[in-house]
Structure 1
Amino acid sequence: MTNEHASLKLRHYPAFFHFWLSRVASGFAFQMVSVAVGWQIYDMTHSALNLGLIGLIQFVPAVLLALPAGHIADQFHRRNVVVVCQFFEWIALVALAGLSFAGWLNEAAILTFIGIISVFRTFENPSGRAIVPALVPEAILPRALAINGSGGQAASIIGPALGGFLYLLGPSYVYAITAVMTLISVILMASLKYQYAPPKRVPMNMERLFSGVAFIRKEKIILGVLSLDLFAVLLGGATALLPIFARDILHTEAWGLGLLRAAPAVGALLMSFYLAKYTLNRRVGMVMFASVAGFGLATIVFALSANLWLSLAALFVLGALDMISMVIRSTLVQIETPDEMRGRVGAVNSIFINTSNQLGEFESGILAAAVGAVNAALIGGIGTIVVVGLWMVWFPSIRKREKLVRDERSSE
Structure 2
Amino acid sequence: MDLKQSENNILKQPFFAKFWISRILSSTSFQMLSVAIGWQMYELTQDAFSLGMVGLAQFIPMLLLTLFVGQIADRYDRRRIVYISLVIEALTAAFLLLGSMGGWLGPGQILISAALIGACRAFEGPTANALLPQIVSKNILPRAISMSTTAIQTALILGPTIGGVLLAFGASTVYFLAAVALMVSALFTYLVKVEQVKNRKGATVSLRSFFLGLEYVKSKPVILGTISMDLFVVLLGGVTALLPIFVQDILQTGPWGLGLLRAAPAVGAIIVSVVLAYYPLKKSVGMILFGAIAVYGLATMVFAISTNLVLSLLALMVVGGSDVISMVIRSSLVQLQTPDELRGRVNAVNSLFTGTSFQMGEFRAGVMASFIGTVPTVFIGGIGSILVAGLWMYLFPSIRKLESLSKN
- 1:206 and 2:207 aligned: yes
- 1:347 and 2:361 aligned: no
Asked whether the equivalents of residues 268 and 316 of structure 1 are also in contact (C-alpha less than 8 Å), the reply is yes
Aligned to 1:381: 382
Matches within 5 A, 1:1-400: 6-7=6-7, 9-11=9-11, 13-37=13-37, 54-94=54-94, 97=97, 103=102, 106-107=105-106, 112-166=112-166, 172-197=172-197, 199-202=200-203, 204-238=205-239, 253-254=253-254, 259-303=260-304, 308-364=309-365, 376-400=377-401
Alignment partners' CA distance in 1, 2:41 and 2:239: 27
Q: Which amino acid aligns with 1:209?
A: F
Gaps of 5+ in 2: none
Structure 1 residue 320: deviation in Å?
Answer: 0.6
Q: Name the SS of the counterpart of 1:74 in structure 2.
A: helix
How many residues were matched structurally? 402
Alignment partners' CA distance in 1, 2:122 and 2:210: 15
Asked whether the equivalents of residues 67 and 210 of structure 2 are also in contact (C-alpha less than 8 Å), the reply is yes
Structure 1 residue 208: deviation in Å?
Answer: 1.8
Alignment partners' CA distance in 1, 2:166 and 2:253: 23
Structure 1 residue 226: deviation in Å?
Answer: 0.7
Asked whether the equivalents of residues 139 and 405 of structure 1 are also in contact (C-alpha less than 8 Å), the reply is no
Alignment partners' CA distance in 1, 2:173 and 2:241: 30
User: Normalized against structure 2, the TM-score is what?
Assistant: 0.83
Asked whether the equivalents of residues 295 and 322 of structure 2 are also in contact (C-alpha less than 8 Å), the reply is yes
CA RMSD of superposed structures (Å): 3.5
Asked whether the equivalents of residues 63 and 354 of structure 1 are also in contact (C-alpha less than 8 Å), the reply is no
Which structure's relative contact order is higher, taking Cα pairs within 8 Å and 6+ residues apart?
2
Q: Which amino acid aligns with 2:26?
A: S
- Higher deviation after alignment, 74-83 or 394-403: 394-403
Change over 3 Å in CA distance of 1:359–1:112 after alignment to 2: closer
Alignment partners' CA distance in 2, 1:289 and 1:80: 37
Change over 3 Å in CA distance of 1:178–1:370 after alignment to 2: closer
- Higher deviation after alignment, 211-220 or 390-399: 390-399
Alignment partners' CA distance in 1, 2:288 and 2:240: 23
Query: Percent sequence identity over matched residues?
Result: 46
- Higher deviation after alignment, 327-336 or 21-30: 21-30
Q: Which amino acid aligns with 2:273?
A: S
Q: Name the SS of the counterpart of 2:136 in structure 1.
A: coil
Aligned to 1:410: none
Change over 3 Å in CA distance of 1:325–1:253 after alignment to 2: same
Alignment partners' CA distance in 2, 1:42 and 1:234: 21
Q: Which amino acid aligns with 1:85?
A: S
Asked whether the equivalents of residues 35 and 163 of structure 1 are also in contact (C-alpha less than 8 Å), the reply is yes
Alignment partners' CA distance in 2, 1:97 and 1:391: 44
Gaps of 5+ in 1: 408-412
Q: Which amino acid aligns with 1:289?
A: F
Q: Name the SS of the counterpart of 1:337 in structure 2.
A: coil
User: Normalized against structure 1, the TM-score is what?
Assistant: 0.82
Alignment partners' CA distance in 2, 1:121 and 1:364: 21
Structure 1 residue 359: deviation in Å?
Answer: 3.5
Q: Which amino acid aligns with 1:159?
A: G
Change over 3 Å in CA distance of 1:180–1:362 after alignment to 2: closer
Structure 1 residue 395: deviation in Å?
Answer: 2.0
Alignment partners' CA distance in 1, 2:294 and 2:168: 42
Alignment partners' CA distance in 1, 2:96 and 2:300: 40
